[in-house]
Amino acid sequence: MTKIRRLTQAVFLLIFLWLFLQTESKGANELGYPVKIFLDADPLIFITTALSTRQLDFPLLLALIVILATVLLGRVFCGWVCPLGTLHNLAGTLKKRRPSAKPLNAYRWKYYILIFLLVSSVFTLQPAGVMDPIALLIRSLSLAVYPMVQYATVSVFNTLYTWQLPLVTDGSEWVYGILKKGFLSFQQPFFNQAAFTGLVFLGILALNLRERRFWCKYLCPLGALLGLLSRYALLNRSVSEGCDGCGVCVETCQGSAGPDRKDQWIKAECLACLNCDDACPKNAVRFGFSAKAPDASLDLGRRRVIGSAMAGLIAVPALRITPLRKAGAADPQLIRPPGSREEREFLRRCVKCGECMKVCITNGLQPALLEADLEGIWSPVLVPRIGYCEYRCTLCGQVCPTGAIQKLSLEEKAKVKIGLAMIDKGRCLPFAHGMSCIVCEEVCPTPKKAIWFEEVRVRDRGGPERILKQPHVDLELCIGCGICETKCPVLGRPAITVTSIGESRSRDNQLLLS
């Protein structure tokens, strides 16, 4: 049975990683693969988003299937499907196989975390993505792990390339070519907070050295949710008379299910890995379908449950008394991707999975730190100096699992403003230094260019008078895509910059009367 389970886990992990690699433009405006299905299938994201938005306008079929499967079979998702769980299994193999310190048995922690998340989502907060395993995994891979792998791989091949050794370099270039086609990213991704995100991820994996599947047993809020759903599952475990209490099953249990306790086995903590069945020397363990009620009740302690719920409640006002919420005081650098909903609604939906940042063709979408305060940490923000919003690209809206960024048609996208560009006359070459430069106008993508020229007569120091073109921004036409800022030859602090003012999604953050 272990072999079948491992094979299933490997298949799902590979599907997950393959879809992750496909979350990248190949030049067409469609990806061609359902890259976000693992997020769509995530009941925690589904339930918290439904609660925080009071809407059901996002895909729900897959999440319902997982819920149904859990209700019938228990936490099979954790034991057989979850890609992060499989990675925990792999990381756990690094742990020494010796009778270690007594297990922490702190499986209740994750329920407190879940209660916190559910209660805060009832009151319109959406913090689930911070700890949701799928969102956390995609975010960590996108922002840290994959960019690191890319950097390391490219460095190795570049070194071999510069050596120009006969045969060796030919071989390495051949391999490099294959990797570029199927595995490597088109360009090196660069992300703010990459090292931090990577360290958090590494830390979570390192918990396996303390106890295997530490995260799944004690911290994972999705695991907790599926645990609650599995309490009346039909797949049940029975232990026959043959059991002599040797305790081998405890060592092999991936959860905190207490398999040695026979009838007191905790179903909500069972990952249905079936290890105890395989390991039992007496062959006394048996899994089968029955309508048996759970034997061990899940006692979370009334005070702690109330405490977690209170924390979830208090978090809502605590996170919303930031001055960034005051009209006109929002961070001007908070440029959201095109199709983003109004900021409050956006934050109710965004689960910080990082899909949009992974897919962003110019690498301009970056994880926010505190631009939208703590509530918006790791939500996407466009940083034009890193990358602009490509005029005819709508990929971020296509991969967003919760509709925080809405899917736009090209016609709709052309009308959406995400901000406005303004010129710094003190740095702009034609204004400040009498030098000619038209880069902002050249790259401006709107059909009728939002940057226009005024021809003025200028005189250089000691030179003759000549005619120069000075750029101006047409605020009606500018969509704030930021390509002018990205390409401005005035490096350092560019002479044309975009801020969020004028963004279509906001009623108040406007400049023009009409």
Partner 1 sequence: MNRRDFVKSALITGAAISLPAGLDPILTALQAAQGPDLAVVRGTPPARITRAAVDALGGMRRFVSRGDVVVVKPNIGWDRTPEYAANTNPDVVAAVVRLCFEAGAKRVKVFDHPVSDARRTYKQSGIADAAAAAGAAVAFMDDRKFKDMRINGLTLKTWPLYSEVIEADKVINVPIAKTHGIARLTLGMKNWMGVMGGWRGRIHQRIDESLVDLARFIKPALTVLDAVRILTDNGPQGGDLADVKLLNTVVAGTDAVAVDAFGATLFGMKPADLGCVRIGHQTRLGSMDLAGMQIRRINL
Q: Is 392 in the site for partner 1 (CB under 8 A)?
A: yes
Report helix angle 2-22 to 83-92, nearest 10: 120
Helical (H) or strand (E) element with 497: strand 496-499
Q: Is 280 in the site for partner 1 (CB under 8 A)?
A: no
Phi, psi of 483 (to 5 degrees): -65, -30
DSSP string, 111-173: HHHHHHHHHHHHTT---HHHH-HHHHHHHHIIIIIHHHHHHHHHHHHHHHHHHT-TTHHHHHH
Q: Is 288 in the site for partner 1 (CB under 8 A)?
A: no
For partner 1, which is the closer residue by CB, 194 or 393? 393
For partner 1, which is the closer residue by CB, 180 or 325? 180
Phi, psi of 110 (to 5 degrees): -65, -25
**Binders of partner 1 among 470-499, rule CB under 8 A?**
487-489, 491
**Binders of partner 1 among 168-197, rule CB under 8 A?**
186
Instruction: Count the helix, strand and coil residues of the chain and give each as a percent rounded to the nearest 5.
Output: 50, 10, 45
Type of residue numbered 315: A
For partner 1, which is the closer residue by CB, 27 or 426? 27
CA torsion sign for 336, 342, 347, 353 is negative
- Count of residues near partner 1 by CB under 8 A: 35
Q: Is 56 in the site for partner 1 (CB under 8 A)?
A: no
Q: How far is the CB of 448 from partner 1 (least distance, A)?
A: 6
Judged by CB under 8 A, which of 124, 153, 446, 506 binds partner 1? 446
Greatest pairwise CA separation for the chain in angstroms: 105
Among 13-21, 73-81, 291-299, 429-437, which window interacts with partner 1 (CB under 8 A)? 429-437
Q: Is 26 in the site for partner 1 (CB under 8 A)?
A: yes
Q: How far is the CB of 436 from partner 1 (least distance, A)?
A: 6
Terminal-to-terminal C-alpha distance of the chain:
67
**Binders of partner 1 among 84-123, rule CB under 8 A?**
none
Q: How far is the CB of 158 from partner 1 (least distance, A)?
A: 7
Judged by CB under 8 A, which of 429, 478, 496, 501 binds partner 1? 429
For partner 1, which is the closer residue by CB, 426 or 447? 447
DSSP string, 426-447: TT-HHHHS-----HHHHH--SS
What are the structure tokens assigned to 248, written together?
């081998």
Q: Which residues are within 8 A (CB) of 54 and not within 5 positions of it... i.e. 6 or more apart? A: none
Phi, psi of 371 (to 5 degrees): -60, -30
Q: Is 503 in the site for partner 1 (CB under 8 A)?
A: no
Judged by CB under 8 A, which of 52, 70, 362, 398 binds partner 1? 362
For partner 1, which is the closer residue by CB, 362 or 366? 362
For partner 1, which is the closer residue by CB, 372 or 418? 418
Q: How far is the CB of 451 from partner 1 (least distance, A)?
A: 9
Among 45-53, 214-222, 325-333, 386-394, which window interacts with partner 1 (CB under 8 A)? 386-394
CA distance 444 to 50: 39
Q: Is 439 in the site for partner 1 (CB under 8 A)?
A: yes
Tell me which residues touch partner 1 (CB under 8 A). Answer: 25-28, 158, 161, 164, 186, 361-362, 390-393, 429, 435-439, 441-449, 453, 469, 487-489, 491
